Chains A and B, each alone.
Chain A
Amino acid sequence: MKHLYLFCIFILFGNAFLLAQGSEDLLDILGDEPNQNYAEATFKGTRLINMQTNEASAEGVLQFMFQHRFGPFNNDFLYNFFGLDVAQVRLGLDYAISDRLSLGVGRSSYNKTSDFTLKYRLLRQQTGKKNIPLSITLFSAAYLNMTRRSFTPDFSDRLSYSHQLIFARKFSSSFSAMISPSLVHFNLVEFNAQPNSLFVLPVGGRFKLTRRFALTAEYALQSPRNFSVRQGVETPYYNALSVGVDIETGGHVFQLHVTNSRGLIDPDWMVKTTGNWLEGGLFFGFNISRVFTLKEPKRPEVGW
């Protein structure tokens, strides 16, 4: 009997307590959102300088990329108008079939090479129910060297390849880094002694100074070190070292940099870098990208 009485009092007080609760506690009813939080914009573009980043366009986006490498600092720099007169160009187009898969084509003036690229985002860095500390992206490309030769090479002799696994992590909103174990393969080498396949380990990072301005740097280690033969002497190629800045405006990202590597595609910049930083074998360069949304993303129906 007495228990029943207490029970009622308890319920009433319980209610009074509930009534006293403010809107603060209404939020508690909702609980935590189950949403996964993906690391967005680990890097600002699909390229850091020469390196591919883990980033790819969103589904339905066509990206146009315009890349330039000017002439060397240490060879008639002013006569060549800061290297502009002897600039090398790469134009590229890539289209994202899905948020994960992008396919692209490109053309470099250096060695008259056309490239065909595939980028697949295997894993995205995320927190939430599932925690994945880094992003992993696969990049694979075939390169067709279309220069005239003194002999008639087989079609396959003109091909080279690059395959990379890109491990990237956004450590904070300002600092991101990546490391991309890569394999570069030439079907035909220039000299017998040259290796056909080379492992390369590029590392790169960016540090944002402001919301729209970031410093970037990258370095690529080769194993074995590639070399050319000049006048009978084996001359090793250098490891590529590049530093630059990212400047973001509304729809563009401008990437300006200084690099010792003149090539714009992996078989050139990764394993055939000719410039020496200490001797001024450097090149100004820039990448500009512009994206076009060909297919709008799927969005919830609004109904008004």
Chain B
Amino acid sequence: MLRFLFLIPICLVFSSISAQKFMTREGVIAFRGETILETIDPVSNQAGSVIDFEGGSLVVQVLQKSFRFRKALMEEHYNENYVHSDKYPRAVFKGNFSEKIDFRTPGTYAIKLSGTMEMHGVSRPISTLAEIIVQPDGKLSLESVFTISPEDYNIKIPGNVRDKIAEIFEVRMKAVYQPVQK
């Protein structure tokens, strides 16, 4: 009888390990591309993301229509003419990292993410560095910077606006995660 009872805590420990996921629905993603004529720097604070430390994986998704631009017309053109948000509503990143992180100990950890980004119907491999900061209150935050090119995602830019739209955009992400409650 007692022999078996001790299995219960073991089982629960295992189950708690598998529950070590953190998530957010309010991640901030901004991208920025600058030319002499125009700076395009929209921002969304509605990115959803989940980190799973057990499997070493991270997903991020953001609705294209959640990006706010400095000009309303730019925003309309972005959704209507460039990324076709009605057809491809979201951009999704799915990646993995091999670093083992003790999410119970506050500190700053660097990870190398590699995975795929899907946007505008095109999936492309992408790898970047990210920093995870475990805060004393049990939350953690993640920050990452990388670059993408619209051409890579088959986003066509007509000749008459070519000078206004950068060829490379810097993408920044910053999000505060909370443990997933099972």
> Residues of A with Cβ closer than 8 Å to B?
1, 4-5, 7-8, 11-12, 14-15, 18-19, 21-24, 26-27, 29-30, 33, 35, 37-38, 40-41, 57-59, 61, 173, 211-212, 248-251, 291, 293, 296-300, 302-304
The reply to whether A297 and B43 contact each other, CB–CB distance below 8 Å, is no
Min CB distance B89 to A, Å, is 8
Which of the candidate stretches B59-67, B98-106, B127-135, B146-154 sits at the interface with the other chain?
B59-67
Beyond A5-B4, A27-B61, whether A302 also contacts B28 by CB under 8 A is yes
Q: C-beta contact mask, B9-25 vs A, less than 8 Å → 1, else 0?
A: 01110110110010101
- Min CB distance B17 to A, Å, is 8
Interchain CB contact under 8 A, A299 and B86 = no
The one of A35, A211, A250, A297 that contacts B46, using a Cβ cutoff of 8 Å: A35
CB within 8 A of A27: which of B10, B44, B92? B92
Please state if B63 and A33 are interface contacts (CB–CB under 8 Å).
Answer: yes
A212 CB to closest chain B CB (Å) equals 7
Residues in A with CB closer than 8 Å to B42 are 299
Which of A12, A21, A59, A249 is the one whose CB lies under 8 Å from B11?
A12
Q: Are B70 and A296 in contact, CB atoms less than 8 angstroms apart?
A: yes
For residue B164, CB closer than 8 A to chain A, the reply is yes
What chain B residues lie within 8 Å of A19 (beta carbons)?
Answer: 18, 54-55
* B81 close to A212 (CB less than 8 A): yes
The reply to whether B4 and A300 contact each other, CB–CB distance below 8 Å, is: no
Q: Kindly identify which residue among B8, B55, B70 contacts A293, using a CB–CB cutoff of 8 Å.
A: B70
Which residue on A lies nearest to B49, using beta carbons?
Answer: A30
A29-B4 contact in complex given A61-B72, A300-B28, C-beta closer than 8 Å: no
Cβ B59 vs Cβ A26 within 8 A = yes
Using a CB-CB cutoff of 8 Å, which residues 41-82 of chain B contact chain A? 42-46, 48-50, 52, 54-55, 57-59, 61, 63, 65-66, 68-73, 75-77, 79-81
* Smallest CB gap from B73: residue in A: A291
Near A by CB (< 8 A), chain B positions 121-180 give: 158, 160-161, 164, 172, 174, 180
Rounded to whole Å, the gap between the CB of B91 and the closest CB of chain A is 13
B14: A residues at CB distance < 8 A: 11-12, 15
Distance between Cα atoms of A20 and B72 in the complex (Å) = 44
Are B80 and A40 in contact, with the CB atoms below 8 A?
Answer: yes
Find the A residue at minimum CB distance from B95. Answer: A23
Across the interface, A299 reaches (CB within 8 A) one of B43, B61, B174, namely B43
Would A8 and B4 be within 8 Å (CB), given that A29-B50, A250-B161, A300-B45 are in contact? Answer: yes
Q: How far is the CB of B142 from chain A (nearest CB, A)?
A: 14
Chain B residues near A249 (CB-CB < 8 A): 160-161
Assess whether A297 is in contact with B70, with CB atoms less than 8 Å apart: yes
Specify which chain B residues have a CB less than 8 angstroms from the CB of A23 in the assembled complex: 52, 55, 57-59, 94-96, 115
From the candidates A11, A35, A38, name the one contacting B15 in the complex (CB within 8 A).
A11
User: Which residues of chain A are within 8 angstroms of B71 by Cβ–Cβ distance?
Assistant: 293, 296-297
Looking at the assembled complex, report how far the CB atom of B71 sits from the nearest CB atom of chain A, in whole angstroms. 5
Q: Which of chain A's residues have a CB closer than 8 A to the CB of B66?
A: 35
Residues of B within 8 A of A251 (CB): 73
**Contact call B4/A57, Cβ cutoff below 8 A:** no
Name the B residues within 8 Å of A59 (CB-CB).
72
Chain A residue with Cβ nearest B54: A19
Q: Is B7 an interface residue (CB 8 A)?
A: yes
Q: Could you say which residues of chain B place their CB within 8 Å of the CB of A291?
A: 73
Q: A23-B57, A23-B96, A300-B43 are in contact. Are A293 and B180 (CB under 8 A)?
A: no
Q: How far is the CA of A146 from the CA of B25 in the complex (A)?
A: 58
Determine if B36 is an interface residue (Cβ-Cβ < 8 Å). no
Closest to B92 in A: A27
